[in-house]
Amino acid sequence: MTLFLLAIATALATFFGGIFALRFKDKAHLIVGFSAGAVIGVAFFDLLPEALDISKTHSISSITSIVALGFVIYLVLDRMLGLHAHTEVVEENHIQEHSNRGIMRASSLSFHSLLDGLGIGLAFQVSATLGAIVAVAVLAHDFSDGINTVTAIFKGGGNKSQAFKWLIVDALTPVLGIIASLFITVSQSVLGVILALFAGFFFYIGASDLVPESYHAHPTKWTTIATILGVAFIFFVIQLVG
């Protein structure tokens, strides 16, 4: 019953974060700025520390090398997809650029949410106390996950309908992760490698993509403040839940 309630809570937290981003789309540059800070904050304060903590069989240099590998992998994929961007005429006869980049970013965020759910379930296999701690940490940043997913689709040239569909995917993936944890187990060593790779992905998404996009054609003052607030939000949330 506890896991069932947590599954619903994670879905709702992510969903309402995305709805917030959809509702205030006219402030997109500020949302992108906050999203960039949140993504970077998750990499710095959540994914990387967790990877280092649970990877008992890997050295610190090995984990940081895997983070760098994740950054490079995402860089290469982003450049490859960028070469295949194309334009087409939509119903309103406007020319709109479409790219697979937004889908790739949303997929990465959704897979991260899947790991969040899996982490909750596996933590409860160890103890109820550990499960509760992990659940609080996941719930704390699920709201920003929803924002990040919607932002990724819009930034990639997607529309509101596409953003909403991917928001639903992101909201459901932690639920699937919790369900999957009832049937499978993942060694801490393997999970540590996965988290390190995703830290690299998130560093690229935040610093190399979302940060420049947030202040493109917009004043840098408020977008910079929004990015700092995004980093600070994740930092204080992680500190709060220990």
Judged against a pLDDT cut of 50, whether residue 88 lies above it is answered with: no
How many Cα atoms sit within 13 Å of 114 on the Cβ side? 13
**C-alpha to C-alpha distances, 221 to 26, 31, 63, nearest whole angstrom:** 17, 14, 35
- Asked if residues 121 and 182 have their Cβ atoms less than 8 Å apart, the reply is yes
What is the value of pTM for the model shown? 0.69
pLDDT: which is higher, 71 or 102: 71
Identify the band that residue 22 occupies on the pLDDT scale cut at 50, 70 and 90. confident
The rounded distance, in Å, linking the Cα atoms of 41 and 59 is 23
Strongest mean pLDDT among 74-78, 137-141, 172-176, 232-236 = 172-176
The rounded distance, in Å, linking the Cα atoms of 50 and 105 is 21
Residue type, 242: G
Q: Which of 178, 167, 174 is nearest to 123 (CA)?
A: 178
Q: Which of 63, 99, 94, 84 is nearest to 200 (CA)?
A: 63
202-234 tens-digit pLDDT: 898 888 877 877 776 666 788 899 899 989 988
- Asked if residues 136 and 82 have their Cβ atoms less than 8 Å apart, the reply is no
Identify the band that residue 188 occupies on the pLDDT scale cut at 50, 70 and 90. confident
The angle formed by the CA atoms of residues 47, 52 and 199, to the nearest 5 degrees, is 30
Q: Which of 16, 44, 18 is nearest to 149 (CA)?
A: 18
The rounded distance, in Å, linking the Cα atoms of 171 and 139 is 11
For residues 169-178, average pLDDT: 92
Residue with tokens 């540059």, as numbered in its chain:
29
The residues, any chain, with a CB within 8 Å of residue 77's CB and separated by 6 or more, are: 104
Q: Which DSSP helix (H) or strand (E) runs through 45?
A: none
Strand runs (DSSP E) across 85-165, as ranges? 86-89, 95-98
The predicted pLDDT at position 242 comes to 63
- Asked if residues 38 and 233 have their Cβ atoms less than 8 Å apart, the reply is yes
89-108 tens-digit pLDDT: 344 433 344 456 788 888 88
Q: Residue 208: exposed, middle, or buried by beta-carbon count in 10 A (0-12, 13-18, 19+)?
A: middle
Q: Which of 215, 236, 221, 242 is nearest to 36 (CA)?
A: 215
